[in-house]
Structure 1
Amino acid sequence: MPARGPVRDSAPRHGLARALSRLGLCSRTEAARWVAAGRVRVDGRIVRDPEFPTIAGRSHIEVAGLAEAAAARRYVMLNKPRGLVTSTADERGRDTIYRCLQDAGLPWLAPVGRLDKASEGLLLMSNDPAWAAAITAPASGPDKTYHVQVDAIPDAALLSALEQGRQLDGQALRAASARLLRTGTRNAWLEIILDEGRNRQIRRLLQAFDLATLRLVRVAIGPLALGALAKGAWRELTPEEVRALAPPAISD
C-alpha cells in the first residue's frame, strides 16, 4: 500500500491585520496601527507584525482586552450625501461617510462597494466580509439602480446605444437598462441599471456619448430601495432585507 503524504491543513490563513478586519473589529489599516502599537496578542504573545500569519478558528487574538469573538454582524444602509468620500480616512483631509455615523454607537463597519465623492444615494455598510463580497461580486451580485441627471435630452436611439455600450480603455462599458424618467428644457433624468460595477462606470459611459453627468443618485441595490431615508441618515437592514440581498449560505 503506497505511503500517504502529509495531511494538509485546510484552515484559512490570514495576516494578523487582515484577520482582525475579517473579525469585524476594525479596518485593515486601523488593525495595522494596533499591531504596530503593541496592542495585539496572538496566543498570549504581543505581535507587532501586521502580516504575522494566523489560522482562522485556531489563533487566539486579543486586542486591548477585547475578546477574540467577532463583533455581532451589523448591516446598515446610508443615504450618502454628495461631497463625502467613501473611505475610512482621507489623506487630503476631506470629510468621509463616517461623519454620518458619528456617535451612532455602531461597531466598525466597512463600505460595501463605493460611491465617488460627487455621487450620492444608497450605500451599504457592514462588518460581515462574506456578505459584502456576495453583494459586490461582479457575476452574481444584485443589480444597482441609479437616477442620473444629464445635460441633454437623449432620444430613443441614444438610450439604446447606452445599453449596447462602448469599448473604453480596454473595458466594455454598458448599461443593463437605460430609460428616460423626465425632461426639462435643457436636461433630463435617466434611470440607469448596472449589472456589474466598474470605476466611475456611468460617468465614463455617458461621457463617451457626449453627455455630462450633473447628478448621480443610487436609488436601489437589488430589491432594496433608498425610499424616504433622509440625506445623511442611516438605518439597520431587517433580517429579511439582509437575506434578500445575498443568499443565506454566503453570509455568516
Structure 2
Amino acid sequence: MPPARPSGTQGGKRHGVARVLSKLGVCSRSQAEAAVRAGRVGVDGRVVRDPEYPVEADRQQLSLDGVAVMAARRIYLALNKPRGIVVSAADERGRDTVYDLLRDAGLPWLGPVGRLDKASEGLLLLSNDSAWAAGITEPSTHLDKTYHVQVAGQPDAAVLAAMQAGIREGADLLKARRVALLRAGEKNAWLEVVLDEGRNRHIRRLLAALGTDVLRLVRVAIGPLVLGDLAKGQWRHLDASEVAQLRRR
C-alpha cells in the first residue's frame, strides 16, 4: 500500500515534490521526477516515489540521495552561444552542448531560459530560478527578443511588410513585431527582426515561407539585455539590476 500523503498544516501551500525540487533550483523538473521514481528522494526521512506527492517546502525536510536539500543560490547567466552548439543537457548524438562551455565553472544545475536551435547563435540565458525563467519565456509576457539575420539576396519592402503582417503555417501564425533592413550587399542582406513571441524555428520558417534563405541568425538582445561584446562561447553573471529588469512575475 502506498504511504499516506501528508495532510499539511492548515493554510499551508503544497506542491508536488518534483516541482518543489525544481523550484528550489536543485535540478530540472524532469530530472526531479526521475529521481523521485528511482527512490532517491525523501520527505521528512521517508522515501517517496510519487513525483506529485504533495509537500510544503517551508515546513518539511526534503533529501536527495540522503543529503538534505537546501535552496540553491540563485544563478543568472548570459552566454554567447556559438553556431553548431546544442542547447541541451545531453545529446543522444554526442554533439557539443552549451553545458560543455560551463563544465569547469563549478556551477549548480542551470536550465536554459528559452532556446536557440543548433544553427543559431547569440544571447542565451541560463538560470536555476524557474519562476524567473518562466516569466521570460511565457508568451503572455510579450518580452521582445531581437535578432540580426543574414539572408540570401536582397529582400524588398514587400517581404519586410509580409513578415510583419504574418504568414499562416498550419495552426501557427508566424509574424515579426518589427523588421528593418540593417545593410545590404550584392548577394545578401542583414535584417533586424524583433519577436514578442517565439515559436519553434520561428524566423527561419517565416522567411522560408516567403522564399528567403537564412544564412546566419544571431540573437542580440532579450528585452533590455543586449549581447554586447561578450565573445562567442563565453558567459557572464547578470548583475542584480539586469535580473530585475527581466523579471516578469
- On whether the aligned pair clears a TM of 0.5, the verdict is yes
| 2:210 paired residue number | 209
* Unmatched runs of 5 consecutive residues or more in structure 1: 1-6
Task: Identify the range of structure 1 (120-129 vs 87-96) with the bigger mean alpha-carbon deviation.
Answer: 87-96
* Unmatched runs of 5 consecutive residues or more in structure 2: 1-8
Cα 1:12–1:52 shift into 2, 3 Å: closer
Instruction: Show CA shifts across 1:207-251 (max 9, x none).
Output: 01000111110000011000000101000001000011114xx2x
- Moved beyond 6 Å, runs of 4+: none
Task: Please state how far the C-alpha of 1:51 moved relative to its aligned partner.
Answer: 4.0
| 2:3 paired residue number | none
| 1:61 paired residue number | 62
Checking the alignment, whether the CA contact within 8 Å between 1:111 and 1:123 is kept in structure 2 is: yes
Counterpart code for 1:127: N
Which structure 2 residues correspond to residues 78-89 of structure 1 after superposition, within 5 A? 78-89=79-90
Counterpart code for 1:108: W
| 2:127 paired residue number | 126
What secondary structure is seen at the aligned counterpart in 1 of 2:146?
A: strand
| 1:90 paired residue number | 91
Task: Please state how far the C-alpha of 1:50 moved relative to its aligned partner.
Answer: 3.6
Task: Please state how far the C-alpha of 1:60 moved relative to its aligned partner.
Answer: 1.7
What secondary structure is seen at the aligned counterpart in 2 of 1:228?
A: coil
Which structure 2 residues correspond to residues 1-252 of structure 1 after superposition, within 5 A? 11-14=13-16, 16-247=17-248, 250=249
Counterpart code for 2:15: R
| 2:5 paired residue number | none
Counterpart code for 2:13: A
Checking the alignment, whether the CA contact within 8 Å between 1:134 and 1:141 is kept in structure 2 is: no
Task: Identify the range of structure 1 (108-117 vs 134-143) with the bigger mean alpha-carbon deviation.
Answer: 134-143
Aligned residues: CA RMSD: 1.9
CA distance in 2: counterparts of 1:119 and 1:151, whole angstroms = 16
CA distance in 1: counterparts of 2:183 and 2:154, whole angstroms = 9
What secondary structure is seen at the aligned counterpart in 1 of 2:68?
A: coil
Task: Identify the range of structure 1 (34-43 vs 99-108) with the bigger mean alpha-carbon deviation.
Answer: 34-43
CA distance in 1: counterparts of 2:130 and 2:100, whole angstroms = 22
Checking the alignment, whether the CA contact within 8 Å between 1:177 and 1:193 is kept in structure 2 is: yes
What secondary structure is seen at the aligned counterpart in 2 of 1:87?
A: coil
Checking the alignment, whether the CA contact within 8 Å between 1:142 and 1:221 is kept in structure 2 is: yes
What secondary structure is seen at the aligned counterpart in 1 of 2:124?
A: strand
Cα 1:9–1:92 shift into 2, 3 Å: farther
Counterpart code for 1:105: G
Counterpart code for 1:112: V
Instruction: Show CA shifts across 1:70-109 (max 9, x none).
Output: 1011110010111111111222222211111111111111
CA distance in 2: counterparts of 1:173 and 1:55, whole angstroms = 41
What secondary structure is seen at the aligned counterpart in 1 of 2:42?
A: strand
Instruction: Show CA shifts across 1:16-51 (max 9, x none).
Output: 333212210112333344334443211111234444
